[in-house]
Amino acid sequence: MAKVLCVLYDDPVDGHPATYARDDLPRLDGYPGGQTLPSPSALDFTPGALLGSVSGELGLRRFLEAAGHTLVVTSDKDGPDSEFERELPDADVVISQPFWPAYLTAERIAKAPKLKLAVTAGIGSDHVDLDAAIEHGVTVAEVTYSNSISVAEHVVMMILSLVRNYLPSHQWVLDGGWNIADCVSRSYDVEGMHIGTVAAGRIGLAVLRRLAPFDVHLHYTDRQRLPEATERELNLTFHPSAADLATVCDVVTINAPLHPETEGLFGRDLLGSMKRGAYLINTARARIADRDAVVTALESGQLAGYAGDVWFPQPAPADHPWRTMPHHGMTPHISGSSLSAQTRYAAGTREILESWFAGTPIRDEYLIVDGGKLAGTGAQSYSVTR
Ligand code: NDP
């Protein structure tokens, strides 16, 4: 029987919700491109419930305990005295989320000799040291596509919010003002702008599709070109590198995984090469951008705005400079954890566990590391240093 150690974010300050704003979720038939939705044998939760926080337990307890497994759920994840670190040495499976990542460093993996499976309840497994997972034979899986569209919606919201100066204008209302000139002196239309994505995978392409009706010029860079038909349909301009794309765009959105090729990509040089007054949206991973270079670019006016929901580390400390830099639209890491997304990634996590315990293959598209090497989606989208 297995011990499953699950790290989730804290419950709401007023406790787990008794009721919700809406009664149901729209029914989806599948993901764009034909990938099927998670298909576990059963669900022990109501779709639309808060599953991603500690009391929600990803809806896994009944399923795991009925099969004789042990489930430990905690939000206490950092430092040597954390519950995560105390429970890790005899854990067989670790489940974590990018929003509240249990950093599975090489040192921690070395302290967990029984660990065989690390599941990301969401997308993005950079909180796991993939080199160490490969070395120790740990399978890494994530719920590919579960929240890609959720993030794409958030990106579009953030682009519009920054360009149109929504958040400061809303603040004037909260403060009892009617300061139209203050609101509009940084407000523009996106119509006619050049907007580019660094990576056009599931999220990047969904962002492009959602922006097309705004009559903007769309650009992208990726390691592989999109099909010609897609380029034509969306009137896309392909760039061979992020550096090439960044110089011509008014808005850049980052939608690549964090791995050795992308870490620190948006540093002082690349930010300095962008058009003065460009906007940068990063919902991918914080360390793709240089923390202090972003602050400097906003202070100098090189960037007109920066928004996103990814920070390093997470949770961000109270004195993280991105909390107080000018012209930002940051949220905590929430874009991929809407109630809609939670239903999908909780179901996908259960599907992965069902496959694992039954000894049947985990879907290829969910795999990041397997059999001592990058596998599935991991082999396509990630790189490792060794
Ligand atoms: P996909 O795997 O569908 O897409 C990733 C894309 O990035 C692929 O097209 C890949 O290229 C491309 N890519 C990888 N390296 C580079 C590079 N060096 N330069 C240019 N393109 C590159 O993943 P998703 O779109 O679903 O998610 C992307 C990332 O977004 C995740 O890895 C995660 O970090 C982040 N994310 C954030 C969430 C949030 O809540 N904020 C939630 C979900 C994801 P190719 O395959 O062609 O080699």
List pLDDT tens digits, range 125-136: 999 999 999 999
Does ligand 1 have an atom closer than 6 angstroms to the CB of 120?
Answer: no
Binding residues for substrate: 123, 147
The mean pLDDT of 86-101, rounded to a whole number, is 97
| Average pLDDT taken over every residue of the chain | 97
- Residue 338 near ligand 1, beta carbon < 6 Å: no
Strands 373-374 and 139-142: unpaired
What average pLDDT does this structure show over 339-351?
Answer: 98
- CA 218 to each of CA 71, 205, 240: distance values in angstroms, whole numbers, following the listed order: 46, 11, 15
Q: Which of 69, 97, 108, 147 is catalytic?
A: 147
- Residue 333 is among the residues annotated as catalytic for this protein: yes
pLDDT in tens, 256-296: 999 999 999 999 999 999 999 999 999 999 999 999 999 99
pLDDT in tens, 34-63: 999 999 999 999 999 999 999 999 999 999
- Catalytic one of 97, 282, 314, 342: 314
Q: How confident is the model at residue 75 (pLDDT cuts 50, 70, 90)?
A: very high
Q: Percent of the chain at pLDDT above 90?
A: 98
202 lines ligand 1 (CB under 6 A): yes
In three-state secondary structure terms, 218 is strand
Mean pLDDT of all residues in 169-175: 98
Active site residue 219: no
The per-residue pLDDT for 386 is 56
What pLDDT band is residue 219 in, cutting at 50, 70 and 90? very high
Counting from 1 in the atom list of ligand 1, the atom nearest the Cα of 203 is 25
Query: Region 118-127: what's the mean pLDDT?
Result: 96
Question: Does ligand 1 have an atom closer than 6 angstroms to the CB of 348?
Answer: no
Strand order in the sheet with 303-308: 236-238, 217-221, 194-198, 251-254, 278-282, 303-308
Pick the catalytic residue: 69, 108, 285, 287? Answer: 285
Phi and psi torsions of 150, nearest 5° = -60, -45
Per-residue tokens: 253: 């959105």
Atom of ligand 1 nearest to the CA of 221: 20
Catalogue all structural domains in the chain, each as residue range(s) with its CATH number: 3-147+337-375 (3.40.50.720), 148-323 (3.40.50.720)
* Distance separating alpha carbons of residues 227 and 200, to the nearest angstrom: 11
**Residue 314 among the catalytic residues:** yes
* pLDDT recorded at residue 268: 98
Banded model confidence at residue 158, pLDDT cuts 50, 70, 90:
very high
Residue 29 has pLDDT above 90, yes or no: yes
Question: Distance, CA 377 to ligand 1 centroid (Å)?
Answer: 10
Q: Return the pLDDT at 341.
A: 98
